[in-house]
Amino acid sequence: MINSEQRSAFSFLPHPRLIQVSFTRFAAHVIMGKTVGIFKGTLMNDTMQDIDRIFHPRAISIIGSSGRAGSFGRLFLEGMIRMGYPAIYPVHPREKELLGLRAYSGINEIPVDIDLAISLVPRTEVLQVVQDCAAKGVKGLILFTSGFKEKDDEGGKIELEIVRAAREGGVRLIGPNANGIYCPAAKLCTFPGALMAGGLPSESGNTAIISQSGSFADYACQVLAGKNIRFSQVVGYGNESDLGAVDFLEYCGEDKETRVIAGYLEGIKNGRRFFELAKKVSKQKPIIIWKGGLTESGAKAALAHTGSLAGSRQVWEAMFKQSGIIGVHSVEEVVDCVTAFSWLPLPKGKRTAILSGMAGTNVGTADNCLRLGLELEKYTEKTIQRLLEILPAIGTTAANPTDIGAGVLVNPSLYGRTAKILLDDENVDMLITITGPDNPATVRDLAEVAKNANKPMVIALFDIAGLVEPQVKYLQEKHVPVYLDPKRAANALAKLAEYAEYKGKE
């Protein structure tokens, strides 16, 4: 059953229409009496302008900056300096200088316009910070402080006061209980874990992450960056008191630099608008979502974490299926899917070939493929003949799955040659290749085949310590998806096929 609160979360609100036109960022026009901005080739509404300015601020202020070792105020200040952001204005009630930067006792004393403020102050001081930012004309404010609606009724009342003050003052909020943003093009990162680890790459990419959990956004960025994935923008928005999932999905959906959207959700304020927007965006780019709170215990944890009503499993699963969202169930699965969607073409169907030198692994992988809804078709006669011409006569199988036996140990090029033949087969839409990391020549041959293929090809390597690490790094540098378990490789391809099928229904 869907209760009244869940029904309310999926109530209808009209989706703002975005009109395509080519101009430059931040220009303003009036269309039918409504002021809009220009966003990477798209006229955008006021909220999209606000988000764009938050991701690309001309100047930022860190309220609660500190020079004390071990403090969050110092961590953020050092991290921003290390990232190379050029216009940082620290706020501290007493200090005149922090880490070589002039400090100000209040944001109102800063002599330039501030587009984005970052608040690290205690809960009792947040309302005053919002009021000060409103008086200064700050466009966006990230509230890291927790202890609001997710904690108790009193916190909920304070959060409402904060939102009221922000709206009256024209300040857009991310949070409270947020981890903020990462935008490499702006040299901006506010994720504590990443800052502690030395920051994130300043090189931009095509992946966006929208996360209600700040730690998920932080951790996923670090893991994916280590796998050679680069980002357009990332946000960990916390309690969603103002800007939230719908707003950031719309922004990333219209962003021409973003090709893959991933995220973690616990609940949303406007389910109907999210659903309609996801249907529109999914026709253009994949949306990969891990939905938390689908069990009774998970729902209680979501309420305590971000104050979100998680909703029923049946409602969410139906919405994902109808809107084309790719649903996943772990950080690991998010990472696996982002890698596949970032680097591979979409398949024409579900027909999958399996290639390895280990018959037992082939059988188990075939079982997993079939459980995931993939198909294992017979090869054409032409393919079978080509395989018989190159495979050793003993210990091999010229069928699907394909076993090339132990001959590869003395003939490292056999894997690559066989993979190319399988990809040429008209009955094959995708290929899983399974091998060990002990022969770098084989890995390099397979990488070359995958790079030149017009079909999805993934590689599964056995996790042999001391051998696998350099081969994984090599494949990731070549933008070839690599997994340390054939089942994970199969699952990534199954998600690709699922999305391709949805897009095919256009």
Q: Are 243 and 149 in the same domain?
A: no
DSSP-based three-state secondary structure for 62: strand
Does residue 435 belong to any structural domain of this protein? yes
Does residue 22 belong to any structural domain of this protein? no
Q: Are 233 and 334 in the same domain?
A: yes
Range of the domain at 160: 28-174
Q: Are 363 and 264 in the same domain?
A: no
Does residue 23 belong to any structural domain of this protein? no
**Alpha carbon distance 440, 462 (integer Å):** 13
Does residue 21 belong to any structural domain of this protein? no
Q: Are 337 and 392 in the same domain?
A: no
Q: Are 370 and 300 in the same domain?
A: no
Does residue 148 belong to any structural domain of this protein? yes
The model's pLDDT over 217-235, given as tens digits with 9 standing for 90+, comes to 999 999 999 999 999 999 9
**Alpha carbon distance 54, 50 (integer Å):** 6
Residue 55 is which amino acid? F
CB-based contacts of 399, cutoff 8 Å, min separation 6: 378, 379, 384
Q: Are 385 and 320 in the same domain?
A: no
- Answer whether residue 462 shows pLDDT above 90: yes
The pLDDT of residue 317 is: 87
Task: State which of 149, 174, 199 marks the end of a domain.
Answer: 174
When pLDDT is averaged across residues 14-30 and rounded to a whole number, the result is 32
Task: State which of 131, 159, 174 marks the end of a domain.
Answer: 174
- Answer whether residue 299 shows pLDDT above 70: no
pLDDT bucket at 409, cuts 50 / 70 / 90: confident
Q: What is the CATH number of the domain that holds 109?
A: 3.40.50.720
Does residue 402 belong to any structural domain of this protein? yes
The model's pLDDT over 472-500, given as tens digits with 9 standing for 90+, comes to 999 999 999 999 999 999 999 999 999 99
Q: Are 186 and 229 in the same domain?
A: yes
Q: Are 163 and 213 in the same domain?
A: no
Q: What is the CATH number of the domain that holds 391?
A: 3.40.50.261
The percent of residues in the chain predicted with pLDDT above 70, rounded, is: 87
- Answer whether residue 307 shows pLDDT above 60: no
Q: Are 53 and 104 in the same domain?
A: yes
Q: Are 358 and 261 in the same domain?
A: no
> Structural domain tally of the chain?
3
- Answer whether residue 6 shows pLDDT above 50: no
pLDDT bucket at 14, cuts 50 / 70 / 90: very low
Q: Taking each helix axis as running N to C, give the angle between helix 123-136 and helix 153-169, from 0 to 180 degrees, rounded to the nearest 10.
A: 10
- Answer whether residue 309 shows pLDDT above 80: no
Task: State which of 128, 153, 174 marks the end of a domain.
Answer: 174
Q: Are 147 and 257 in the same domain?
A: no
Does residue 20 belong to any structural domain of this protein? no
**Alpha carbon distance 306, 133 (integer Å):** 24
Which element (helix H / strand E) includes 356?
A: strand 352-356
The pLDDT of residue 294 is: 57
- Answer whether residue 32 shows pLDDT above 90: no
Would you say 398 and 391 are in contact if contact means Cβ atoms under 8 Å apart? yes
Which DSSP state fits 82?
Answer: H
pLDDT bucket at 506, cuts 50 / 70 / 90: low
Q: Are 166 and 290 in the same domain?
A: no
Q: Are strands 326-328 and 287-291 parallel, antiparallel or unpaired?
A: parallel
Does residue 269 belong to any structural domain of this protein? yes
Would you say 176 and 146 are in contact if contact means Cβ atoms under 8 Å apart? yes
